[in-house]
Amino acid sequence: MKLLDGKLCAESLVADISRQVAVHVAAGLRKPHMTVILVGNHAPSESYVKSKITTCSLSGFDSSLVRFPETVYEQELLAKIEEINLDPSTDGVIVQLPLPAHIDQQKVINSISPDKDIDGFHPTNFGRMALGQKAFRPATAYGICKLLQFYQVPVVGKHCVVIGRSNIVGKPISIMLSNDFDIGNATVTLTHIETPRELLLDETRRADIVIVAVGIPGFVTPDMVKEGVTLIDVGINRLESGKIVGDVAFDAVAPKCAWITPVPGGVGRMTVAALMINTLIAYQNNFNLV
């Protein structure tokens, strides 16, 4: 069993990004600039946002954090996004999800300029990605691809089973790995909450790569996978003890795996690194550098 070390891979990607930024800054350009919008103080969101801001600084980026209270009106949020869309000093913007229930999440995402949508959640980017066109790719899915590429895990033609069909992870990763992309060309099955248990087991037991994003600690058990599987655990679950665990019963399943991601230190780190790649691309687009 070998670890797909997201921390190591992310650090290498961020170091590469900071070298590219240094070249642009030495040529007289301003730094790339990411703006993060955070509504309320949902504990996991606070922690993700902190990690994004820290990684901006490690990448040589400027960042701004715009906070709104839980009670913010949707109109206020939309007005702020419109202001950022028009502000030439911001290259990329993210609205940390989830948003409070009184706000229409999709409406907020749709209001972000596709040119600044570094999360890749806007229908224009998602559609372009699905069609195999140039687009900002959703950060968690893109991060998983970069991790597989970094460790040269064979993907082309392999049978990949994705568990969970969320718009931010399961759906985009299933499309990206099946597309004829730089990292892709796999044979993909997307399973979800309505997949009958027997069918799920049929699929996962013959999968070369399993990607799980369901938010249930210990969901993937050793009987569900074959010997030599590559297991990508997207889950970040906080137990009552405070311990952070993924969706895989790691200690029991790891001995069967060729490759497995740890939690923490796996996919979470890669999500942030991929967001930095997207921000650098947005910046380079802004300055016609590519």
- What does the block give as tokens for 246? 């993924």
Judged by CB under 6 A, the residue of 55, 90, 140, 278 near ligand GUN is 140
Number of H helices, E strands in the chain: 10, 11
What's the CA gap between 3 and 12, in Å, rounded? 16
Q: Which helix (H) or strand (E) holds 38?
A: strand 33-39
Catalytic-labelled residue, pool 96, 117, 171, 208: 96
Active site (annotated) includes residue 52: yes
Active site residue 96: yes
Structure tokens at 240: 């009552």
Q: C-beta of 97: minimal distance to ligand GUN in Å?
A: 4
- Told to check if 35 binds ligand GUN by CB under 6 A, we report no
Selected from 63, 96, 230, 286, the binder of ligand GUN by CB under 6 A is 96
Q: Is 146 a catalytic residue?
A: no
β-bridge mates for residue 244, sequence order = 238
Q: Applying CB under 6 A, what is the total number of residues that bind ligand GUN?
A: 9
Residue with structure tokens 């009106």? 73
* The one among 108, 139, 263, 270 contacting ligand GUN by CB under 6 A: 139
Q: What is the chain's length?
A: 290
Applying CB under 6 A, the span of 71-79, 92-100, 177-185, 204-212 interacting with ligand GUN comes to 92-100
Closest CA to 229 of 220, 218, 238: 220
Contacts of 144 (CB under 8 A, 6+ apart): 173, 211, 232, 234, 267, 270
Q: Would you count residue 38 as binding ligand GUN (CB under 6 A)?
A: no
Q: Which of 204, 261, 271, 286 is in the footprint of ligand GUN by CB under 6 A?
A: 271
- Return residues touching ligand GUN (CB under 6 A): 94-97, 119, 139-140, 168, 271
Residues classed as catalytic: 52, 96, 119
